[in-house]
Structures are given as structure tokens and as C-alpha cells.
Structure 1
Amino acid sequence: MPASTARRTPADKHDERRRALAESALRTLGDIGYARTSLREIANNSEFSHGVVHYYFSDKLDLIVHCVQHYKATCVRRYDGVIADAGTVEELVDRFAAKLLETLTDEAPMHRLWYDLRSQSMFEATLQEAVHAIDRTLEAMIWRVVCRAAELSGSEPALSPATTYGMLDGLFQQALLGHGVGSPDALEQLDRQVREVVPLLLVAPG
């Protein structure tokens, strides 16, 4: 039977509905944050009833973690495209910086939600496993960018994956904060910082 006409299983349909609910919920979550969002609030701002939302997600935490996992997985695939399309280290840095600025500008609420969730995980043990898994996925994505830059430039990564991720994630978070309060040079500063930092993440083999 062709894949396009294969019958979907109940599990497939369940996963599809969870994805649809997550995409709808992301808008509300990004606007008002983790602490102020309830399942009822999400339902009131979507085409789904409170009962439907509660059927597919056991509680707010279950829904929010699923939302962030879904969004961050999409982000990672975008950066994989940046890596695949770059032919020189200069082009890679240009594309990487441009993608960071684009996602910060277009999807700031989603990034605020992620940092909100990560902060909450320091106080809610039930969040820690999911947040740690997402962090490791993002760290691996950044590491692929740096390894590709090293390959294109004939060099080697200078720092560990965790240190590299911490540096670039810190720059991105600071730019997000600046952009959120209307700082006129937040994006320009992030672009400049990325171009300054990436060469520092590489070292000549020796």
C-alpha cells in the first residue's frame, strides 16, 4: 500500500492532535509566559475546548514541555540547513548570524518561553529532565555549526561543546533581553558579537 494512502493508527492520530494543540498553545504561552498560563487560558485562546486540551495533555506542564520540544526541534532543523548550504567559513558565519537574528526577531515570544521554562526548572524538579534534554539538543546543534566552521577553515574546535554552547547561548539571551526592552542596537550587537566569537572558538591544529 502506498505511504500516502496507508491507514493512520490511533497513535498517529493522537500524536497529530497533540502537535496541533501544541502549535496553537505556543502563541498564548509566548505572550504571557509559563507561570501565568493555565490549560483553560490556552483553550480560551485557541479553537480547542478545555476538555479537548485536558484529554490530550495531563496538565499544564505536560503541554508546555511538549510545546517547547516541538518548537526547538524545528529550530534545530533550520540550523542544519545553514550548515549544509555554506561553502566557506565566512559564508557559514554570515548565514549563522543571519539565522540567529531572524529567529530572535520573528519568534521572540517562543524564545522567552524557553528561557522562562529553563529558569522554572531550577525550582520544579519535574521540569528538569525535559529541559536538560532540550538543552543538550541545542548544544549539539551549536557544536555542529562550530565543527563545520573548523572543517571549512582547516582548524579545530578550541573549547568543549558545553562551553561553546554556553558562550553563544549567553549572547543570544542578552540580545533577546535587549530586544525585548526596545534596545535599538540589540540585533546589531548580536551580529557583531557572533562574528567576533566564532573565530575564538577555533584553533589551528597542532
Structure 2
Amino acid sequence: MQTLSELGYARTSLREIAQNSEFSHGVLHYYFTDKVDLITYCVRQYKARCVLRYDQTVATARTAEALAQGFADGLVATLRDEAFMHRLWYDLRSQALFEESFRADVLAIDESLERMIWRIVSRFGELGGTPLTVTSPVAYAMVDGLFQQALLRYLSGSENALPDLREHVVHLLSGLTQPASSQA
């Protein structure tokens, strides 16, 4: 995973991964048919953990504001601590536009991430007593867009990338619900 996240899809081979791990090239070939198989396996495992990361925040938040802050703080922490893994995900997602062999896995991962975001957004609306103004795909696209922009800025050395992500996510969540005064 470290080699993949550092070099990306195009610059990584099974041989390169083997050289940077405790496994031989033969062992990797035994378990994985090719680089695509290994990469999709690794990213699926990583993203499966990511999807569960916010469940505790959703379960324990007592107010919409606490949920928004907890979610924003979680996004900032994962971007800061695992930026290279997220970079690998965006690389894989982009490669799926060209490599058909990635598409089914990327679509499945994308759907799980969308469901994760929808759990958060739906709970935010419930806690605030306000109806949502967007659909699940739109909410996911907005959060994902903010996260991807912040990732690029963070990897480029921007000191504001993390605090801006936190602020933008909290603001975005507030904008995804209809204010109480306009519910009539």
C-alpha cells in the first residue's frame, strides 16, 4: 500500500511492490493475477475501513452542530494522516475512466462512500429537524469535491487546506438542509 500510494498506479509494478515489501514477486503473483488485481484489493480494503470511520460520530452526536464538527474533524484527520492513500483512491478512480478492469470495483467503492456520506447528511437533517434539499448523489459529489480539492491543496503545501476543509464541510452541511423558517 505504501508503494502504491507513493508512486500511483501508472508508475507501480508488482515487481516494484515486491521490492518495497516483505513479499517476493512470486508470492504476489500467487495471490494476485496482476497489478490491477492487487491495487483494487488494497483500495477496497482501505476504503472499507474509511466507510466505517464516521459511524461512531453519527451514533453519538446529539446535535446537528456536533455532528458537523465531528465529521469535519474526521475528514481533516484522515486527509492529514492518510493523504497518500486518498491520492491513490483518486488515481484509481481516474484510471477507471480508461481501464475497464477497474470500473466495477471503483463503482462499488464509490457507492459505499456515497452511502456513508448520506448517513451523515441524513442524520444531520434529523438532528436539526430540517429536511434535506439534495439527493444522495449530489451530497456525495459536493463532499467529495471539497475533499479532493483540499487533498490537492494539502499535497501542494497549502497551510490553509485543512482549516478550510473543516470550515467548508461545516458550511456545506448547513446548506444541505432547508431552514426551519422556510419549511412552511
Please say whether Structure 1 and Structure 2 have the same fold, judged by a TM-score greater than 0.5. Answer: yes
Report the equivalent of 2:153: 178
CA distance in 2, matches of 1:43, 1:156: 51
Report the equivalent of 1:42: 17
Report the equivalent of 2:109: 134
CA distance in 2, matches of 1:81, 1:68: 22
Map Cα deviations across residues 127-184 of structure 1 (whole Å, 9 max, x no partner): 1111011000000000000011111111122101001100110000000000001011
Are 2:51 and 1:56 aligned?
no
The one of 129, 139, 144 equivalent to 1:164 is 139
Alpha-carbon RMSD across the aligned residues, in angstroms, is: 0.9
Q: Which has the higher contact order (CA 8 A, sep 6+)?
A: 2
Unaligned runs of 5+ in 2: none
CA distance in 2, matches of 1:133, 1:97: 24
Q: Which amino acid aligns with 2:85?
A: M
CA distance in 2, matches of 1:195, 1:94: 7
CA distance in 1, matches of 2:123, 2:131: 10
Q: Which runs of 4+ in 1 moved over 3 A?
A: none
CA distance in 2, matches of 1:154, 1:192: 22
Are 2:128 and 1:153 aligned?
yes
CA distance in 2, matches of 1:68, 1:79: 18
Report the equivalent of 1:122: 97
CA distance in 2, matches of 1:104, 1:145: 18
CA distance in 2, matches of 1:128, 1:48: 27
Q: Which moved more, 1:72-81 or 1:107-116?
A: 72-81
Report the equivalent of 2:69: 94
The one of 150, 169, 176 equivalent to 1:201 is 176
3-state SS of the aligned residue for 1:202? coil
CA distance in 2, matches of 1:100, 1:149: 16
Report the equivalent of 2:81: 106
Please give the TM-score of this superposition, normalised by the length of structure 1. 0.86
CA distance in 2, matches of 1:31, 1:97: 25
Q: Which amino acid aligns with 1:106?
A: D
3-state SS of the aligned residue for 1:157? coil
Report the equivalent of 2:5: 30
For these two proteins, the number of residue pairs brought into alignment is: 181
Please give the TM-score of this superposition, normalised by the length of structure 2. 0.96
CA distance in 2, matches of 1:120, 1:184: 29
CA distance in 2, matches of 1:183, 1:154: 36
Report the equivalent of 1:77: 52
